Amino acid sequence: MPIRWRLTVYNALSIGAILLALGFASFLLLRDAALSDVEDDVRGRALAVARTVESGGELPPDEAERSSLGDEFLIVRDGRGRVLDPDWLKNSPRIRIEDPLWARALETGGPVGGEADYSPQEAPDYVYAVPVDPPEGPARVVEVGRSYGSVTETLNAFALLLVGAVLVALVLSVVGAYVLARAALAPVDAVARSARQIGAGDLGRRLPVARPGDELGRLTTTINDLLARLEASFARREEALARQRRFAADASHELRTPLTSIAGYARMLKSWGLENREAGREGVEAILEESERMRVLVEDLLVVARGDEGGMPLEPAPNDLGALAAEAVGAARAAAGGKVVVQYVPPKEPVGAVFDGARIRRAADILLDNAVKYTPEGGVVTVGVAREGGLLRLRVSDTGAGIPKEDLPRVFERFYRADPARSEGGTGLGLSIARQIARAHGGEVEAASRPGKGSTFVLSLPENGPG
């Protein structure tokens, strides 16, 4: 059963139960009040007549006439229960039906009230018997009674009216409950329609929030937040897949060049190169050179792949960034062979912290190699280390041609080369690997450049160690 109908039935049953309880209670209260009025009136009449009889007087004509009309009657009995016929009751109906109330009144010596069947109506009568002791005459008991008939008819009419009102109210409550349930659940239908229209490729859509403050609004807001997270997750997934496809394509392209060269020299050696000693030596050297290039490229690819998976292993230990930079400068100076001046500006105090010394040395070598490679002969590469604002910074500056402004944001992309003509011997992965190493430590590598003036790369590491 739909929630709309369940709410309708629940509300209708609840309201119906309340209406029945209220109607039943109202009927009982009205019944008790009406019966009490009859009984109080009969008691008052009986006591008044009893006082008149005891005083030896006669009932006034209007009172005697009232006793012979309508549903009320008056009986006077002697000590043996026989009905007397005083002169002032000559117009009263002759009632000869006996009842036990007069006997109990004589026995107890006090008034006694109760039901009896005097009148021919289906409804019983209420009779009140009062013992009397007049100065003369045989009267000993006065009984006044009235039929419940008129009260019963009124109560029956009220009961029918009450049942009709309850039924009408119940029908109206069912209709009202259905309308309210439908109005309350209308946003649910809107949310369901919108949700059905959201596909895997359309996560940018959001569910409508009619009333953000109620329960359904909060639920819809939560679902929208979930959709936003899913959209971001799918976007990251698509970006990762695109990056992997681009990485695979670039890697294939980079590997094809040395493989083609190796295959070409191998075919040459197989055909005629072994007959020519000089050609054979040249072919073997080329194959070794291309093999080494492939080895470096494969190792770099493995490093990049591990970084993508968040699995770059680190071995943090206390290290001095200044000493590490000095070693990297010495290696770069030897590799430059005097064509480029590589100078180191030592810090005024030790710059120590906890980091993976081998990984950071690899990043420093990459930055220095890149600086030397793009600095013309006679240029200067300057390396400095400092502690700034809770970070350790390794700066590598050169006096090369610089990087064009439009190329600067892309220098850390894989296989990207700002100057392809001057990229021989590199894999195009160095700066990307350096940034991965820095980020694995919770740091960063940033670049700044002025075309024609040179570039500066800054490796930043947290002072308190990785993570």
CATH code (residue 257): 1.10.287.130
Lowest mean pLDDT: which of 136-150, 190-204, 267-281, 322-336? 190-204
Tell whether 126 and 250 lie within a shared domain. Answer: no
Domain boundary among 308, 326, 349: 308
Query: What's the CATH code of the domain at 445?
Result: 3.30.565.10
Q: How far apart are CA 330 and CA 25, in angstroms?
A: 103
Residues 135 and 7 in one domain: yes
| Overall average pLDDT of the 411-429 stretch | 64
Residue 22 has pLDDT above 80, yes or no: yes
Residue 400 burial (10 A CB sphere; 0-12, 13-18, 19+): buried
Residue 299's pLDDT band (cuts 50, 70, 90)? confident
Residues 231 and 291 in one domain: yes
Answer with the one of 253, 286, 308 that is the final residue of a domain: 308
Convert 25-43 to b/e letters by CB count within 10 Å (16 or more is b): eeeeebbeebeeebbeebb
In one letter, which amino acid is 398?
A: D
Residues 6+ apart with CB under 8 A from 306: 312, 313
Do the beta carbons of residue 327 and residue 385 sit within 8 Å?
no
Q: Do residue 267 and residue 397 come from a single domain? A: no
Report yes or no on 187 lying in a domain.
no
Looking at mean pLDDT, say which of 94-98, 130-134, 216-220, 311-315 comes out highest: 130-134
Q: Does the residue 346 lie in any domain?
A: yes
| Residue 70, domain member (yes or no) | yes
Kindly state whether residue 432 falls inside one of the protein's structural domains: yes
Share of residues in the chain with pLDDT > 90 (%): 14
* pLDDT for 309: 59
- For the cut 60, the answer to whether the pLDDT of residue 93 exceeds it is no
- Lowest average pLDDT, out of 127-141, 341-355, 420-434, goes to 420-434
Question: 337 and 278 in one domain?
Answer: no
Q: Are residues 19 and 150 in the same domain?
A: yes
Q: 193 in a domain, yes or no?
A: no
From residue 379, how far is each of 55, 327, 373, 419, 451 by CA, in Å?
146, 20, 11, 18, 15
Strand arrangement, sheet containing 112-116:
72-77, 141-147, 125-131, 112-116
* 197: in domain: no
Split into its structural domains, the chain has a count of: 3
Residue 176 lies in a domain: no
- What average pLDDT does the chain have? 79
Q: Are residues 38 and 150 in the same domain?
A: yes
Q: 118: which residues sit within 8 A by CB, 6+ positions away? A: 73, 95, 97, 99, 125, 127, 145, 147
pLDDT(64) > 60: no
- Inform me whether the pLDDT recorded for 423 exceeds 60: no
Question: Residue 251 is part of which domain span?
Answer: 215-308
Do the domain assignments include residue 437? yes
Which one of 102, 132, 154 terminates a domain? 154
